[in-house]
Amino acid sequence: MNYFSLNNREHLSNFEKAVVRGLAPDKGLYFPEKIEKLPQSFFDEIQALDKTEIGFEAIKNYVGEEIPESRLKDIIAETLDFDFPVVPVEDSVSSLELFHGPTLAFKDVGARFMAGSLGYFVEKGKIEKLTVLVATSGDTGGAVASGFLGVDGIDVVILYPKGKVSEIQEKQLTTLGENVTALEVEGAFDQCQDMVKKAFLDDEIQQKRQLTSANSINVARWLPQMFYYFLAYKQLKYKGQKLVFSVPSGNFGNICAGMLAREMGLPIDHFVASNNANNVVTRYLENGKYEPRGSVQTISNAMDVGSPSNFVRVLELFENQFGNLKKYLSSYSFDDLATKMAIKEVYDTTGYTMDPHGAVGYLGLKEFLKNHPQYYGVFLETAHPVKFLDTVEEVIAQKVPVPALIEGILDKKKKAHQINNYDELKSYLLK
Ligand SMILES: *Cc1c(COP(=O)(O)O)cnc(C)c1O
């Protein structure tokens, strides 16, 4: 399979090059040249397939010959080595829980698949030693650190803003050791992000270390997110209804992977992009004007994105036809107060605890179902409520039990290097 750059269709790369580079040399996002429909027999027999078989059928064409079948299956098996339960919450409303991975974030799947793919390319000698450089506002860093831990030939360097990630998130970044280094930056997330961008453009660094990024612009992080939708479909028990998925969206990688699954024949009739106050897509669908702006801070902070990087891929899927896109995508935006009220109401009436991101997804779904009662709806729960403990416990006035996976980490000792500016990052990377 070849990938073209969304800035220039003539520029083609295979899967390996697209993964190693992240972005095309012209800074465009990579997009698969062909999207093939899966055979009807796959959907008819999906009940009988296990997670690895489903993942393999879904992604094999996008990987092509570059990873042999048996190795690809091993990577998928490791990537999906936890549960993705669909939990009924109300009549015709279920939650797809994506937070049962090692860092309790849905980003675990993309990070593990990317680590497995890059690990294979290094092992085969197709690439030299590689440094994954990433800035995090919280969840990405932990998932990437855990996904790449112990992968030979790959170093991971994570920048995070001092005092601005939760205690659990900080421990997930700073206690692993081995090939994972955490750099604690005196500043905000935007500064971490700027330093990372600058490092990618710095020839002196690039000569010394081959850098790659691990955010959802990378096809190896973006594509495996389609697994969720297939795995959910396998579990769903509904009859004669249409199917809608509501996705709490920030950079729009997750929802775009779902839409790709639909293109491949997965019978999803509609998507809802649920936004917090950062609602550039909600406004776009209302008035046809796409106007990125600076992000504002909310309680669903992993979605605080003012200029969603994957939205160009969504547009490409619909051949940049606004009318076509509107048929399959709705979008609603909710503020923090509405989000908190939803957490409380759902907890009080059903006993189900949502995190602030899942709650935005729930609200978007309910808004859509108001006018489309014939649908069966699934919202994606993208983080465990324990990761947003302060907000959730205050709203439901109950303790949220801490999973054993997390309890262990809280006693471990934090190890991070302090850096204050770009020069300090650079000298660390050149050392
Ligand atoms: C990253 C993240 C999102 C947003 O996903 P995108 O693919 O960027 O749209 C939503 N919820 C949580 C908890 C996240 O970590």
Query: Over 90: is that where the pLDDT of 238 sits?
Result: no
Instruction: Please give the average per-residue pLDDT across 218-223, as a whole number.
Output: 96
- Predicted local confidence at residue 215, as pLDDT: 82
Q: How far away, in angstroms, is 303 Cα from ligand 1 center?
A: 6
Residues of 352-390 as b/e, b for ≥16 C-beta within 10 angstroms? bbbbbbbbbbbbbbbbbbeeeeebbbbbbbbbbbbbbbe
Q: How far away, in angstroms, is 292 Cα from ligand 1 center?
A: 18
Residue 22 lies in a domain: no
Q: Please indicate whether residue 378, judged by its CB atom, sits closer than 6 Å to ligand 1.
A: no
Q: What is the pLDDT of residues 286-330, one digit of tens each?
A: 999 999 988 888 999 889 988 898 999 999 999 999 999 999 999
Q: Please indicate whether residue 107, judged by its CB atom, sits closer than 6 Å to ligand 1.
A: yes
Instruction: Please give the average per-residue pLDDT across 199-216, as a whole number.
Output: 89
Residue 185 lies in a domain: no
- Predicted local confidence at residue 188, as pLDDT: 82
Q: Token match 């009940």: residue?
A: 47
Q: How many CA atoms lie within 13 A of 352 on its CB side?
A: 19
As beta bridge partners, residue 417 has 183
Instruction: Please give the average per-residue pLDDT across 2-29, as a whole number.
Output: 93
Q: What is the pLDDT of residues 344-363, one digit of tens each?
A: 999 999 999 999 999 999 99
- Predicted local confidence at residue 214, as pLDDT: 87
- Predicted local confidence at residue 181, as pLDDT: 97
Q: Please indicate whether residue 256, judged by its CB atom, sits closer than 6 Å to ligand 1.
A: no
Residue 323 lies in a domain: yes
- Predicted local confidence at residue 4, as pLDDT: 97
Residue 337 lies in a domain: yes
Instruction: Verify whether residue 107 is a known catalytic residue.
Output: yes
- Predicted local confidence at residue 418, as pLDDT: 96
Distance CA(348)–CA(390), nearest Å, equals 18
Q: What is the pLDDT of residues 32-49, one digit of tens each?
A: 999 999 999 999 999 999
Question: What CATH number is given to the structural domain containing 359?
Answer: 3.40.50.1100
Which DSSP category does 64 fall into?
Answer: G
Residue 26 lies in a domain: no
Residue 90 lies in a domain: yes
Query: Over 90: is that where the pLDDT of 410 sits?
Result: no
DSSP run (H or E) holding 10:
strand 8-14
Average pLDDT, the chain: 94
- Predicted local confidence at residue 257, as pLDDT: 98
As beta bridge partners, residue 8 has 5
Q: How far away, in angstroms, is 74 Cα from ligand 1 center?
A: 26
Instruction: Please give the average per-residue pLDDT across 199-219, as a whole number.
Output: 90
Say if CB 282 and CB 332 are below 8 A apart.
Answer: yes
Q: How far away, in angstroms, is 382 Cα from ligand 1 center?
A: 7
Q: Please indicate whether residue 380, judged by its CB atom, sits closer than 6 Å to ligand 1.
A: no
- Predicted local confidence at residue 268, as pLDDT: 97
- Predicted local confidence at residue 148, as pLDDT: 96
Using alpha carbons, select from 335, 195, 198, 314 the residue that is nearest to residue 251: 314
Q: Whose CA is nearest to atom 2 of ligand 1?
A: 302
Using alpha carbons, select from 115, 132, 111 the residue that is nearest to residue 123: 115
Query: Over 90: is that where the pLDDT of 381 sits?
Result: yes
* DSSP codes, 164-212: -S-HHHHHHHHS--TTEEEEEESS-HHHHHHHHHHHHT-HHHHHHSEEE
CA-225 nearest atom, ligand 1? 7
Say if CB 16 and CB 66 are below 8 A apart.
Answer: yes
Which domain covers residue 368, as residue numbers? 83-105+221-402
Query: Over 80: is that where the pLDDT of 193 sits?
Result: yes
Q: Please indicate whether residue 387, judged by its CB atom, sits closer than 6 Å to ligand 1.
A: no
Residue 128 lies in a domain: no
- Predicted local confidence at residue 240, as pLDDT: 81
Residue 53 lies in a domain: no
Q: Token match 């000298």: residue?
A: 427
Instruction: Please give the average per-residue pLDDT across 112-126, as a whole number.
Output: 93
Domain count, the chain: 1
Which one of the listed residues 107, 171, 340, 426 is annotated catalytic? 107
